[in-house]
Structure 1
């Protein structure tokens, strides 16, 4: 149960989103350990003379003083605790940080307290900021977020027959929630016909191993992984599909990140 909010209260938080509100205000989406997701109004935050604007950048972690309001609480004071300067110097890391925040924003309704998710997000931003492999930060974050919000992929038993999964290439279904063994996949093809091709997709043995490792290993071990490009792309695509399916919409930050990566790849070509 989340604590009750006094008329004026303080909280630590990470800024997930912000947008213009009215003539000079901003509507800020905070994710906090005590109160979950909050949407608050920063009055006059867009005025050149305000002192708050520098503390209200996306994915900044700060300490905020808030006052209860009728529709939205009002942000009266802000102090930056971590600006994540290392993230902001790299366009790809900005995109990755944006995707971390968008996932949390989309998966949570307002006032759903989730301190474990707050810690997961904070630690992922710290890892990005320190220069750890950004693609691994994002993959590890997504696997653990799915676990915490109740969408953990089943990777050790077939979701159709319940038998343990053999160490060979398998299949996986986002809709069914995990790995489908070759025998059950064949049965689904016989029963569902062409629809089974959309329901179940191939999963290489290497990708299955990586998914299991991401799901169970702590970050200090995951950060040492060196993934072949094809395996990284297979895992990345699957986790994006997993998020899209459960959110019932695509991720803006995912599209942005791929555009940034394509731009970097184009610059590398002679």
Structure 2
């Protein structure tokens, strides 16, 4: 391979590691969400050896500045410089770990086919992982805020203050995932959940980033809101986010 051809195939990007799996005796395939190139799957050679210089920088939930070389089927990671060592503090705490796993799984699903919003999804996920690693808020609140914002970026922003179907100003006492959120009495389909107004207020806070309002919420409303968020996200993804089942709701 000529030096020129190698150079033209080499590129750099910031990336967050979504997941990894073993390849051969010493390598790994890394699923990445990059800032500028969308979701990628790349080979990291030799990272499972104890002598590897950048194996620890390519663990799940780590953020790194990567150099990659384009390959025939999978790109190859040749350099990794840590930018956000969130994986260590997250992995030491079970509640944080399962929340991070649910966020990473959701990000992978949302960016698997949608490359147009991947840069925004990258920034959102990195911010959520940073907040989770430093314990800025309760892990379950960070998760639900992330999920609501992630589906909003993808084009499925939920409504909590006006009827999602007719636009009638709220507050409203029913929620329907298929219609897009809060629904008024006239638009409410049979069987729609009727959450407490405090729960709807909490979800609105999580979507808008009103952390003072979210942190002051009661546990009962957090649990009720979590069910609505999980149902809403999985309805629009049209698949189950398996990691959500591991998240413990106090």
TM superposition score category, shorter chain reference: 0.7 to 0.9
Unaligned 5+ segments in structure 2 are 1-6
Equivalent position to 1:36, from 22, 27, 38: 38
Match of residue 93 from structure 1: 96
Q: Indicate conservation of the 8 Å contact 2:163/2:184, yes or no.
A: yes
Equivalent position to 1:209, from 168, 178, 201: 201
Deviation at 1:218, TM superposition (A): 4.9
Q: Indicate conservation of the 8 Å contact 1:20/1:27, yes or no.
A: yes
Match of residue 128 from structure 2: 124
Match of residue 241 from structure 1: 231
Unaligned 5+ segments in structure 1 are 189-195, 266-270
Give 3-state SS (helix, strand or coil) of 1:26's partner. Answer: strand
Tell me, in whole angstroms, the C-alpha distance in 2 between the residues paired with 1:232 and 1:180: 20
Deviation at 1:116, TM superposition (A): 2.3
Tell me, in whole angstroms, the C-alpha distance in 1 between the residues paired with 2:8 and 2:174: 51
Deviation at 1:112, TM superposition (A): 1.6
Equivalent position to 2:148, from 143, 153, 156: 143
Equivalent position to 1:175, from 173, 178, 200: 178
Establish whether residue 25 from structure 1 lines up as the match of residue 30 from structure 2: no
Please list the CA deviations of residues 125-165 of structure 1 after superposition, one character each: whole Å capped at 9, or x if unmatched: 11112122212211221221121111101223223333222
- Over aligned residues, Cα RMSD in angstroms? 2.2
Q: For the structure 1 residues 110 and 62, does the alpha-carbon distance in structure 2 shift closer, same or farther, using more than 3 Å as the test?
A: farther
Deviation at 1:6, TM superposition (A): 4.2
Match of residue 3 from structure 2: none
Question: 35-44 vs 230-239, which deviates more?
Answer: 35-44
Match of residue 70 from structure 2: 68
Tell me, in whole angstroms, the C-alpha distance in 1 between the residues paired with 2:124 and 2:210: 11
Match of residue 161 from structure 2: 156
Tell me, in whole angstroms, the C-alpha distance in 2 between the residues paired with 1:8 and 1:110: 24
Q: Indicate conservation of the 8 Å contact 1:55/1:62, yes or no.
A: yes
Tell me, in whole angstroms, the C-alpha distance in 1 between the residues paired with 2:8 and 2:37: 12
Tell me, in whole angstroms, the C-alpha distance in 1 between the residues paired with 2:162 and 2:57: 47
Question: 64-73 vs 82-91, which deviates more?
Answer: 82-91
Q: TM-score, normalised by structure 1?
A: 0.81
Please list the CA deviations of residues 67-104 of structure 1 after superposition, one character each: whole Å capped at 9, or x if unmatched: 01011111112222222233232111111111121111
Equivalent position to 1:81, from 61, 80, 83: 83
Deviation at 1:110, TM superposition (A): 5.9
How many matched pairs? Answer: 241
Tell me, in whole angstroms, the C-alpha distance in 2 between the residues paired with 1:110 and 1:27: 19
Q: TM-score, normalised by structure 2?
A: 0.87
Deviation at 1:105, TM superposition (A): 0.7
Give 3-state SS (helix, strand or coil) of 2:215's partner. Answer: coil
Match of residue 50 from structure 1: 52
Question: 98-107 vs 224-233, which deviates more?
Answer: 224-233
Tell me, in whole angstroms, the C-alpha distance in 2 between the residues paired with 1:203 and 1:74: 48
